[in-house]
Amino acid sequence: MISTEFNVIDRIQASTFKSVTLRALRPQDMPSVYDIEDESFHSPWGKKDFRRCLKHPKCLSIAACDPDTGCILGFAVLDLSSKEFAYLLNLAIREDQRRRSIGRQVMESLQSGMANTQKKCIRVYVEERNLIAQMFLKELKFQAIEILTGFYMDSDDDCYVLQYRKR
Ligand SMILES: CC(C)(COP(=O)(O)OP(=O)(O)OC[C@H]1O[C@@H](n2cnc3c(N)ncnc32)[C@H](O)[C@@H]1OP(=O)(O)O)[C@@H](O)C(=O)NCCC(=O)NCCS
């Protein structure tokens, strides 16, 4: 069950944006999701991390699919348990499909989905080294609000907390 307060899936289900269809992630999508995760991060989530999120009632998991073939081109996972904030826990687009506005479509649907909810912001934690994600989020109107040192166990990178505030 997805939080009704932030029920993006209801609004975006089966709606096709410029080139992708957004819908809830399904168990059968997971092999593609694991492949995208592995090619996208130096410390990828494991299957357990995904399973925990997918089972959680306050987690929203979105698949971006090719409207013709149904192939998974990317995904996003959000934590909606806070009243004011949605936390983007994970977002990745298949490596060979990047720079085709797929990430933008996912984020813009989330941003517009917030309009009639109590949530004021979307927050995301980004590694200092992940310049592409920072450029992407800047384009999507996120701003840096905090720098956390010693946040990551597996790297010396600082963590940038970036936030999108609802207009
Ligand atoms: C970050 C990521 C999700 C972007 O997805 P994407 O579908 O390639 O992004 P889009 O094509 O929608 O890009 C939107 C805008 O972001 C910026 N952007 C995206 N990738 C960029 C890059 N490699 N270099 C510079 N700017 C970039 C551009 O302004 C772009 O607009 P433009 O193509 O019109 O110039 C993708 O690179 C990815 O999966 N990275 C690995 C996982 C990751 O780092 N996740 C954290 C995300 S918060």
Below-50 pLDDT ranges, the chain: 1-4, 11-18
pLDDT digits (tens, 9 = 90+) for 79-100: 999 999 999 999 999 999 999 9
The yes/no answer on whether domain 4-120 falls in CATH 3.40.50.720 is no
pTM comes to 0.91
pLDDT at residue 16, rounded to an integer: 37
Residues with CB under 6 A from ligand 1: 40, 91-93, 98-104, 124, 126, 130, 132-133, 135-137, 139
Closest residue by CA, ligand 1 atom 1: 133
pLDDT at residue 116, rounded to an integer: 83
pLDDT at residue 18, rounded to an integer: 47
pLDDT at residue 6, rounded to an integer: 53
pLDDT digits (tens, 9 = 90+) for 133-149: 999 999 999 999 999 99
pLDDT at residue 3, rounded to an integer: 45
Domain ranges of the chain: 4-120
CA dihedral 18, 55, 151, 38 (to 10 degrees): -60
Kindly list the strands in the beta sheet with 72-79, ordered across the sheet, starting from the edge strand earlier in the chain: 15-16, 21-24, 59-65, 72-79, 85-93, 121-127, 159-165, 143-148
Pocket residue to mutate for ligand 1, from 136, 142, 157, 164, most atoms within 8 A of Cβ: 136
